[in-house]
Amino acid sequence: MGKAQVTSGEQESVEKERAKRIRVERNIYKRTDMGAETYEVRAYVARKANGSPHHEYRYITGTLSDARDALTTLKAEVIAGKYRVPVVEPSGTDVANEEPRLDEWDDLTKVNDAIEGWRLNGWQDLSPSTTRRYISIFQVHVKDTIGKDRVSELTPYKVETYFRGLKDKGLSRSSVRQTRALLHRACSLASKWSERKLQNPIHDAGLPVWTLAEKGVDVRSPTAAELRKLLAAVPEENLRFASYLRLIAATGIRRGEAAAVCWEDLDLTKKKTVRINKSIVADVDGAKVRAPKSKASIRKLSIDAGTASLLRRLRAEAESAAKFGEFEVEPTHFCFASELPGTNPPHPDWFSHTFADLREQTKVASDIHLHSLRHWQSTALDSVLSPTQKQRRMGWSNSAAAQMDSTYTDTVEAEDVRAAEHIGGLLDGPPTKKSKS
């Protein structure tokens, strides 16, 4: 049978429906059917149990600027948890519509049972970001497919066929590798809990091969010109994000490390330094403060004059708001908190989303991400720092400088100041030539 013919009337109806919703910017649409100055804004909340995304919508009558402000407010409310969609964690009832078999580990044990057992006895040791990733993978790619199979009946061939099927659906190499990691650990635990009666079918199963063309675009380090363009495009009234972005560009610290900076971590006087001793991660229940990844992640970094000046403005803005809000700006308050006085940690996803919006508005290439600024920092330091001092400033765990004797403290500080001044010069750009009068 041939394809069904679409009548001219039906085609006209489809075109009219599309014309009602015209994209203006990222997550902002013009609604021609609701008035000349009506916009639809939407913010992603979470994935539903079936894997489909859930968004919150608002309809704004006014200017495009009003729509942007409404979108910013809506995103902040989502991050604050106001519209969260409950995340259904793996459980026996949700997985297989039956009670999980966690009292016996034998030939009837299913992959879903193994994952449920691991969730109850082991997931507590995982980082919040890893837990979120595993929940997403489980719900979308495992629960209703290989999860229903018995561990004893799986073979490396079946597992490899399953992985290839994921690739054929368009999953990236990284996503398939993470899926394999989830299955491998769960089945390994099932084997241990069964006293080796069960074998781990994932152990010998390999992954498909991705060609260079299939691997997608890598995250690229931006140029200094692109960075200056991004920094200059942040709206003057968004001092919070402007200073946050500048701090990351100036130091190369991770997005969670920057989000965790408190006022007591900053020395904005003569020395101009920032202390990194914690990080904020995105958890299922919101933002959480955690200890640094390693000892090398605990460090004090020099910052340039331009970055320090911006942070002083942010502090002054907070103190000015404190006078009207009848609160004090405490040393332990978070500098980049979404709400004053800053007792609650900011959600790191907000900064990533805001950066993506900024990148689109400035027409900067989409292969530049917030983490790309860290790559740029690493490259820019090559000309002014030795490899050892570069490792220390970046907070890499294999840094020999992390264990350096205190005898060299003055030398380390001097080199770090030189690095900060070099980076600041790149971010500020060459001085503007003054015309002769």
DSSP strand pairing (266-267 vs 299-302):
unpaired
Query: For 419, what's the count of Cα atoms within 13 Å in the CB-facing half-sphere?
Result: 30
pTM: 0.64
More confident residue, 166 or 1: 166
**Whether residue 220 has pLDDT greater than 90:** no
111, 148 contact by CB (below 8 A) = yes
Residue-wise DSSP of 10-50: HHHHHHHHHHTEEEEETTEEEEGGG-TTEEEEEEEEEE-TT
* Predicted confidence (pLDDT) per residue in 332-380, tens digit: 999 999 888 899 999 888 899 899 999 999 999 888 999 999 999 999 9
Nearest one of 352, 285, 281, 260 to 81, comparing CA atoms: 285
Question: 45 φ, ψ to 5°?
Answer: -105, -60
Residue 291, SS3 per DSSP = coil
Is residue 30 very low, low, confident or very high in pLDDT (cuts 50, 70, 90)?
Answer: confident
Average pLDDT of the segment spanning 78-83: 70
427, 249 contact by CB (below 8 A) = yes
For residue 77, the model assigns a pLDDT of: 76
**Whether residue 72 has pLDDT greater than 50:** yes
Residue-wise DSSP of 409-423: HHHHHHHHHHHHHHH
Is residue 201 very low, low, confident or very high in pLDDT (cuts 50, 70, 90)?
Answer: very high
Average pLDDT of the segment spanning 271-297: 84
List, in sequence order, the alpha helices (H) in 45-155: 64-79, 92-96, 111-120, 128-137
- State how far the Cα of 140 lies from the Cα of 160, in Å rounded to an integer: 18
**Whether residue 34 has pLDDT greater than 60:** yes
Q: Tokens for 115? A: 């994952």
CA dist list (Å): 144 to 10, 109, 114, 152, 177: 37, 15, 14, 18, 19
Q: Tokens for 15? A: 């075109």
Q: Which CATH number fits domain 92-193: 1.10.150.130, 3.40.109.10, 1.10.10.10, 2.60.40.420?
A: 1.10.150.130
Average pLDDT of the segment spanning 134-145: 90
**Whether residue 6 has pLDDT greater than 60:** no
- State how far the Cα of 292 lies from the Cα of 275, in Å rounded to an integer: 12
Residue-wise DSSP of 207-265: PPPPPTTTS-PPP-PPPHHHHHHHHHHS-TT-HHHHHHHHHHHHH---HHHHHT-BGGG
* Predicted confidence (pLDDT) per residue in 148-174, tens digit: 999 999 999 999 999 999 998 888 888
Q: Tokens for 286? A: 């919101």
Average pLDDT of the segment spanning 254-277: 93
In the chain, % of residues over pLDDT 70 = 81
**Segments making up each domain of the chain, as ranges:** 19-79, 92-193, 224-428
Neighbours of 20 (CB within 10 A): 13
21, 29 contact by CB (below 8 A) = yes
240, 336 contact by CB (below 8 A) = yes
**Whether residue 88 has pLDDT greater than 80:** no
**Same fold for the pair 92-193 and 224-428:** no
Query: For 104, what's the count of Cα atoms within 13 Å in the CB-facing half-sphere?
Result: 5
User: Measured in whole angstroms, how far is the alpha carbon of residue 285 from the centre of its chain?
Assistant: 15
Q: Identify the CATH number of the domain defined by range 224-428.
A: 1.10.443.10
Is residue 409 very low, low, confident or very high in pLDDT (cuts 50, 70, 90)?
Answer: very low
Question: 154 φ, ψ to 5°?
Answer: -80, 145
For residue 191, the model assigns a pLDDT of: 94
For residue 16, the model assigns a pLDDT of: 58
**Whether residue 208 has pLDDT greater than 60:** yes
More confident residue, 405 or 318: 318
- Give the mean pLDDT of the chain: 82
Q: Tokens 């580990």 identify what position?
A: 105
More confident residue, 269 or 19: 269
- State how far the Cα of 188 lies from the Cα of 203, in Å rounded to an integer: 8
